[in-house]
Amino acid sequence: MLNKKNWFSMPKRELFLLLFLIIYPIVFFLPWTYNIMILNVTLLAWGAYALYFLAPIVSIIVLSSEQRTIETDKKTNVSI
Amino acid sequence: MKTTEFIIMILYIGFCIFLAFYTQRKISSSASGTDEYYVAGRRIGLAVNSIAILAALGSGGSFMAGIGTNFKLGLPTLAWMTVASICGFALASILVAKPLRNSGKYTVTEFLTERYNSRFIQVMVPIILIIGSGIYLMSQMKAGGLIASYITGLSYEWGLVIIALVFILYVSLGGMLAVTWTNVLQGALMILLILLIVIGGLVNAGQGPISFFASTTKEYEHLGKLGVALPLAAGIGAFVSWFTAPSVIPHLVMRVFTAKDVYSARLSMNIGMLIYGTLMFTSLIVILPFVPELGADTLKNTASDMWLLLIANKFFGPFIMGIITAGIMAAVMSTTDALLLACSASFAYDLYGKVINTKASQKQLLRAATISTWVIGILVMLITLKPHPFLIVLYTAAVGFMASGLFPPMVLGIWWKRANTIGASVSMVVGSVLFMILFLGFDMPYNTEILIALPVSMLTMLVVSSLTEKPSEETIAKMEQYHTGII
C-alpha cells in the first residue's frame, strides 16, 4: 500500500505546501491554544484567522515558483 | 414594500435574465454548444475565474448568515469552518486541479468514470452529487426567500417561490456561460457589499474597530470561548468538510474545467480565496459588535441569517440598502446558479447523455439540461418551504456528504496507482451511506458525521483496492499523462 512505486510523484514544493495545510490546523487544534485569549477570543480562532491570509498567499507563491521552474525547464530544453 | 430596494433588485435581476437570453442565443448558434453550456468554452482567464470562484463560494451562508451564525455559535467554530474552504481550494489546487484540467473532461463524474471505467460509478457519482448539491441548494434558496420577503414585504414562502423561479429561469437558459458572466458581476457586487458595510460600520462604531470588537467579546463571553455553543468536534468536523469539499463538489470543481489552462485554474483558486478571506475577516471584526445593538427583542424574534441586513439598515438609506441587498442577492444567486448547473450537468450530461440515451444529439442534451434544471429547482424549492434553522449547518452537512463519498475515490484515484474500480465503488457507497445514517439516525453534534464517514471511506478504499486486482496499465498510463500534461 505504501510502496513508493504505487504513487505518482508530487513536486517537492507542493508536497511541503500539502504538509503545511495539514499540520498547521492540527497544531492549532491541540489544547495549548484553547485558553490563550487575545481580545477575549481564543488563540484557536486567531490561528484560523491568520490562515485566511497565509494559505492562499503561500499557495500562490508555491504555484508561481513551480510555474517559473517549468517555463525555465522548457526554455532550457528548447535551447539544447 | 421597500420601493427603492425593490427597483434596484428588479434592475439587477432583469440584467441577469437578459444576459441568460443573450448567452442562450450564443450557445444555440455555436457549433460547440455543449462546450459553451458546461465549461464556458474553456477560455476563462485568470481574473474572471478568480472572481467567479469567489462568487461561487461566497454565498448566502457566508455573506448574509455569517455574522448572525458567528454570534450564535461562537467564533472558533465558524473561524475554522470559513478557513477550511480557503485551505480546501489550496488543497484542490495541488491535489486535483492539474489532472482534472488536463483530462479535458466536463464533469467530476466523467473524470471518475474514465479513471475507474465502471458503469456503477457512472451512475453512483451523479446520484451523490444531485442529493448533496440539492441539500446545499436548499440553504441558498432559503436565503433568497428571506431577502425577497424582506424587500417585498411578502411572506417567506412567496418570496422563496418568486426568487426560485428567477434563479431557475436564467440558469436553464444560459448555462455555464451565463453563470460565469453573471458570477463576475455578482463577485464585484459582493466586494462592493462588504466594502459598503465595513465603511458603514467604521463610521458608526464611535470608537476604534478593535476596541469595539474587544468590548463586545468581553461582554458576550460565549463568542470567543471554545465549546460554549458548539463542541470542539463540531469545529473539527466543519473544518474537515470544507477542507476536502473543493476537491470534489461540482459547482466549485467546474471552475477548474472552465479555466483556459492548468496554471490559470490553480492560481485563480487561490486568488479568489485571498479576496474571500479578506472580505470575511474584515466584515467579521467590524460588523459583529453591532449585533447586540439590534436589541434583545429583534435578536429573539428574527432569524439570525437576517441580522446583517438589519444592521446595514441602521447605517444606510434606501438607495445604498438597495445596492447592499442586491449584493447579498448576488452572493445567493452566484452559488445557487452554480449549484443548479452542477445538478443539471449531473443529470443531463452524466446520466441522460452517458447512460440513458448515449446517442443523444447536442440539441437533446441541452433540452435535457433545461428540463432537469426546472425539475430539480422546483423540487428543492418545495422542500425549502420548511427550512432548517441554520443555513451554514445545513450546507456544511451537504458538502460533508459529498466529500465522504467522493474525496477518497477522487484523490486516491489521481495519486495512487493501486486505486481500482471495486475499491472506489465500495468506498463511495460506504462513505455516503454511512454519512446519511449518522446524519439522519443519530443525534450527533453539528457537522461531526464526516469525522467517522470520511476515514472509514478512505480506509475502505485503501484496504479493498489493496486486496483486489490492480488497475490496467492503460489506466495508469492515462493518469500519468494527466499528471504530466503530455497527452
Helix and strand totals (H; E) in chain B: 21, 0
Over its C-alpha atoms, chain A yields an Rg (Å, rounded) of 18
Residue B431 and residue B100 in contact, taking contact as beta carbons nearer than 8 Å: no
**Cα angle B464-B425-B237, degrees, rounded to a multiple of 5:** 85
Contact B418 A34 (CB under 8 A): no
Backbone angles phi, psi at B399, to 5 degrees: -70, -30
Q: Which three cell numbers stand for residue A14?
A: 507542493
Is residue A75 predicted with pLDDT exceeding 90? no
Say how many CB pairs under 8 Å bridge A and B: 125
- Residues B239, B260: Cα–Cα separation, whole Å: 30
| Partner residues linked to A7 by β-bridges | B416
Q: What pLDDT shows up at residue B431?
A: 96
**Candidates A17, A52, A63; nearest CB to B86:** A52
Q: Which CATH architecture has domain B3-395?
A: Up-down Bundle (1.20)
Residue B325 and residue B150 in contact, taking contact as beta carbons nearer than 8 Å: yes
Residue A22 and residue B91 in contact, taking contact as beta carbons nearer than 8 Å: no
Domain segments of chain A: what residues? 12-74
Cα B242 to chain center, whole Å? Answer: 10
Q: Which residue of A lies nearest to B459 if distances are taken between CA atoms? A: A1
Which among B23, B234, B61, B227 is positioned nearest to B142, based on CA atoms? B61
CA distance A55 to chain B (A): 6
DSSP letter for each residue of B314-352: HH--HHHHHHHHHHHHHHHHHHHHHHHHHHHIIIIIIII
Select the residue from A17, A18, A37, A39 to test the B interface by mutation, using most B Cβ atoms within 10 A: A39
Please name the residue ranges forming H helices in B205-345.
Answer: 209-219, 232-244, 250-258, 262-287, 296-301, 307-315, 318-344
pLDDT one digit per residue (tens) for chain B, 487 residues: 777 778 877 887 888 778 777 776 766 666 555 666 666 666 677 888 888 888 877 776 677 788 888 898 889 988 998 999 999 999 999 999 999 989 888 788 889 999 999 989 999 998 998 888 888 888 888 888 888 888 888 888 898 898 888 888 877 776 666 777 777 877 888 888 889 999 999 999 888 899 999 999 999 988 888 877 778 888 889 899 999 999 998 878 888 888 888 888 899 999 999 999 999 999 999 999 999 999 988 888 887 878 888 899 889 888 888 888 887 777 777 778 778 888 888 888 888 888 888 888 878 888 888 888 899 889 889 888 877 666 667 778 888 999 999 999 999 999 999 999 999 999 999 999 999 999 888 888 888 999 999 999 999 999 999 999 999 999 999 999 999 877 6
Amino acid identity for residue B320 in this structure: I
CA distance A73 to chain B (A): 14
Residue B391, SS3 per DSSP: helix
Contact B218 A40 (CB under 8 A): yes
Contact B94 A42 (CB under 8 A): no
> Measured between CB atoms, does A13 come within 8 Å of chain B?
no
Size of chain A in residues? 80
Q: What pLDDT shows up at residue B151?
A: 81
- Residues B172, B277: Cα–Cα separation, whole Å: 31
Tens digits of residue pLDDT in A29-74: 999 999 899 999 999 999 999 999 999 999 999 999 988 887 787 7
Residue B390, SS3 per DSSP: coil
Phi-psi region of B242 (alpha: psi -120 to 50; beta: other; left: phi over 0): alpha
> Which A positions 26-65 lie with beta carbon below 8 A of chain B?
29, 34, 37, 39-42, 44-45, 48-49, 51-53, 55-60, 62-64
* Burial B261-279, CB ≥16 within 10 A → b, else e: ebbbbbbbbbbbbbbbbeb
Q: Which three cell numbers stand for residue B136?
A: 446545499
Domain segments of chain B: what residues? 3-395
CA distance B383 to chain A (A): 34
**Candidates A14, A41, A51; nearest CB to B217:** A41
What is the ipTM, given to two decimal places? 0.91
- Residues B451, B443: Cα–Cα separation, whole Å: 14
- Residues B176, B39: Cα–Cα separation, whole Å: 6
Distance (Å) of CA B395 to CA B59, B103, B133, B147, B325: 10, 29, 9, 18, 22
Tens digits of residue pLDDT in B417-426: 999 999 999 9
Amino acid identity for residue B341 in this structure: L
Q: Which chain A residues are within 8 Å of B91, Cβ to Cβ?
A: 18, 21
Cα B116 to chain center, whole Å? Answer: 26
Q: What pLDDT shows up at residue B59?
A: 72
CA distance A49 to chain B (A): 7
Q: What pLDDT shows up at residue A1?
A: 59
